[in-house]
């Protein structure tokens, strides 16, 4: 008898699984006699005790019958119990699954992990002091937090801290009862889709946009419509005449271009939402990192009609894997969001919320922010200086005094040349990201998104030198290509 053991867990359990599979797929037919335990043990090089234990388990589960004095036999199972080999690949049946799979295929970027200079733009800057502070906070929370009852809306202490922080740093006046703690901005997008959208409802996304928002909305069945952005952020005069259900924006630091939504545009957007009775989701994903003297307050702070759903995240400031973010909800939507959160996952983890509430209340969070902000400002300056020195007039730098990345546009490169540069740089250990995948429609120019949060100032200096050298090489290739085609024409 051919029985293949899968190598996982104790031998008797492996043998039980293998025999069950053989019975279910018909290799061992009802009524047939099983080999004596001693024989099978010898054949499979197992101990007899192991085989006896497997037979006992199979007997207890009804797969075999033991007849006193004459051995064990495969039991007669219910008709249809035998598994037929699959005739075709079965895909998940829901529209949601099909759309989610489709959108996953629109790959956003190559990952450059393992390269010497990875200009990633998503993960927070490492502050070793944060790690030790955080392990203390977690230990403390584990000792003092009740093991149950974080509540779907989030720990009251954390909601209070979020309100205090928002009032101090983002100009947002919020009450704890209107705050919902969620597991990342990504969950905020999903909940917003569930609460606000029916199949086919339209949603405005900035063009270019954050792919995570696009994914969640498309999978939900939304009709996504891109509205252009320029140096002042979303071009509000181009919002659709027919009201969308939702508008998703990144006013403080447009993702990915870095534009700040100007005050006239902010007011125009709020007037539009009020008049059209639609909702705005303000994704303030890196609102903590502003390097100018007077940063603009959040859009929500101007919202008198209670139309803005404000979302802030701890992913960029603490740890991406913490999966904690917060929403400030319009009163009219609050209860529906809380129910949706409850149905989705009951609540966010209590210990982490308690640790964070204490860390914020103790002043540790803002001390950490000051350290990181100072470091990021220095890195930002180094990056801009390096770009000016090594890329010079060949790129246009979109410099905004905020965030964790900078965008540059090539003055001369077409798509093939930009891709050739990315490939060449990657082969030399410099990982950068193209702008094009962040667009619904291909952009008129080629650009790069350069994250500076993961490299020290020294590394940035070297990375920009390498960047300039790679551009020199691509330019030389272009020149020789032109010379060759001019020669061929002559």
Min dist. Cβ of residue 283 to ligand PLP (A):
5
Give the per-residue contact string, 47-86, with ligand PLP (x = CB under 6 A; - = no).
----------------------------------------
User: Residue 184, interface with ligand PLP (CB under 6 A)?
Assistant: yes
Burial class (CB in 10 A: 0-12, 13-18, 19+), 391: buried
Nearer to ligand PLP, 213 or 269 (CB): 213
Nearer to ligand PLP, 150 or 325 (CB): 325
| CA 68/CA 409 separation, integer angstroms | 83
In contact, 307 and 278? CB cutoff 8 Å: yes
User: Residue 229, interface with ligand PLP (CB under 6 A)?
Assistant: no
Stretch that binds ligand PLP, among 172-180, 181-189, 335-343, 472-480 (CB under 6 A): 181-189
Query: For residue 245, which phi and psi values (nearest 5 degrees)?
Result: -80, -30
Min dist. Cβ of residue 229 to ligand PLP (A):
13
- Please identify which residue in 35, 71, 122, 240 interacts with ligand PLP, judged by CB under 6 A: 122
Q: Where are the alpha helices (DSSP H) in 6-81?
A: 11-24, 37-44, 48-60
Min dist. Cβ of residue 314 to ligand PLP (A):
8
User: Residue 210, interface with ligand PLP (CB under 6 A)?
Assistant: yes
User: Residue 315, interface with ligand PLP (CB under 6 A)?
Assistant: yes
Contacts of 11 (CB under 8 A, 6+ apart): 5, 46, 47, 50
In contact, 229 and 208? CB cutoff 8 Å: yes
- Please identify which residue in 117, 214, 285, 467 interacts with ligand PLP, judged by CB under 6 A: 285
| CA 490/CA 480 separation, integer angstroms | 15
| CA 171/CA 288 separation, integer angstroms | 12
User: Residue 252, interface with ligand PLP (CB under 6 A)?
Assistant: no
- The tokens describing 212, both together, are 């995570």
End-to-end CA distance of the chain: 78
DSSP character for 296?
P
- Please identify which residue in 50, 161, 185, 215 interacts with ligand PLP, judged by CB under 6 A: 185
Stretch that binds ligand PLP, among 21-29, 133-141, 145-153, 313-321 (CB under 6 A): 313-321
Phi-psi region at 310: left, alpha or beta (left = phi > 0; alpha = psi -120 to 50)? beta
Query: For residue 421, which phi and psi values (nearest 5 degrees)?
Result: -65, -45
User: Residue 325, interface with ligand PLP (CB under 6 A)?
Assistant: yes
Min dist. Cβ of residue 206 to ligand PLP (A):
10
In contact, 203 and 223? CB cutoff 8 Å: yes
| CA 277/CA 275 separation, integer angstroms | 6
Q: What is the 3-state secondary structure (H, E, C) of 447-475?
A: EEEEECCCCCHHHHHHHHHHHHHHHHHHH
Nearer to ligand PLP, 73 or 439 (CB): 439
- Please identify which residue in 202, 250, 257, 347 interacts with ligand PLP, judged by CB under 6 A: 250
Min dist. Cβ of residue 227 to ligand PLP (A):
16
User: Residue 289, interface with ligand PLP (CB under 6 A)?
Assistant: no
70 to 34, 36, 149: CA distances (angstroms): 10, 10, 58
- Please identify which residue in 152, 153, 202, 313 interacts with ligand PLP, judged by CB under 6 A: 313
User: Residue 454, interface with ligand PLP (CB under 6 A)?
Assistant: no
Give the per-residue contact string, 417-436, with ligand PLP (x = CB under 6 A; - = no).
--------------------
- Please identify which residue in 12, 134, 255, 413 interacts with ligand PLP, judged by CB under 6 A: 255
Min dist. Cβ of residue 211 to ligand PLP (A):
8
List residues near ligand PLP by CB under 6 A.
122, 184-186, 210, 250, 255, 283, 285, 313, 315, 320, 325
């Amino acid at each position: 008898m051919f029985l293949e053991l899968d190598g996982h867990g104790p031998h008797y359990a492996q043998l039980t699984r293998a025999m069950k599979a053989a019975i279910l797929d018909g290799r061992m037919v009802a009524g047939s006699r099983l080999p004596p335990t001693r024989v099978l043990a010898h054949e499979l090089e197992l101990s007899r005790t192991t085989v006896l234990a497997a037979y006992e388990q199979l007997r207890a589960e009804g797969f075999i019958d033991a007849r006193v004095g004459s051995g064990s036999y495969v039991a007669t199972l219910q008709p249809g119990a035998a598994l037929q080999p699959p005739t075709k690949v079965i895909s998940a049946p829901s529209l949601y699954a099909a759309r989610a799979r489709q959108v996953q295929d629109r790959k956003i970027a190559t990952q450059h992990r393992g390269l010497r200079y990875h200009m990633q733009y998503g993960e927070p800057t490492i502050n070793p002091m944060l790690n030790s502070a955080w392990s203390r906070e977690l230990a403390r929370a584990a000792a003092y937090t009740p093991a149950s009852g974080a509540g779907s809306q989030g720990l009251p202490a954390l909601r209070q801290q979020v309100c205090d922080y928002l009032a101090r740093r983002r100009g947002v006046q919020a009450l704890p009862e209107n705050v919902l703690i969620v597991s990342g901005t990504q969950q905020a997008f999903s909940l917003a889709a569930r609460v606000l959208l029916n199949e086919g409802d339209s949603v405005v996304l900035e063009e270019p946009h954050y792919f995570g928002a696009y994914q969640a909305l498309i999978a939900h069945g939304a009709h996504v419509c891109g509205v252009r952005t320029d140096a002042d952020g979303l071009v509000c005069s181009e919002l659709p005449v027919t009201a969308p259900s939702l508008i998703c924006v990144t006013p403080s630091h447009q993702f990915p271009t870095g534009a700040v939504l100007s005050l006239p545009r902010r007011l125009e957007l709020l007037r539009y939402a009020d008049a059209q009775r639609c909702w705005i989701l303000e994704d303030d994903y890196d609102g903590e990192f502003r390097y100018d003297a007077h940063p603009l307050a959040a859009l929500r702070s101007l919202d008198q009609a209670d139309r803005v759903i404000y979302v802030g995240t701890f992913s960029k400031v603490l740890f991406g894997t913490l999966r904690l973010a917060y929403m400030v909800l319009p009163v009219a939507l609050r209860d529906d969001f809380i129910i949706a959160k409850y149905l989705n996952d009951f609540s966010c983890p209590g210990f982490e919320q308690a640790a964070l509430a204490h860390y914020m209340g103790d002043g540790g969070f803002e001390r950490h922010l000051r350290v990181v902000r100072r470091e990021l400002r220095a890195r930002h300056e180094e990056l801009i200086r390096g770009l000016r020195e090594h890329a010079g007039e060949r790129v246009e730098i979109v410099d905004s005094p905020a965030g964790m990345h900078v965008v540059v546009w090539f003055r001369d490169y077409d798509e093939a040349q930009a891709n050739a540069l990315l490939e060449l740089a990657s082969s030399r250990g410099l990982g950068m990201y193209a702008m094009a995948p962040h667009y619904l429609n291909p952009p008129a120019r080629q650009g790069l998104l350069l994250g500076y949060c993961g490299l020290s100032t020294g590394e940035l200096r070297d990375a920009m030198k390498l960047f300039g050298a790679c551009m020199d090489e691509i330019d030389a290739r272009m020149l020789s290509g032109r010379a060759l085609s001019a020669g061929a024409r002559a």
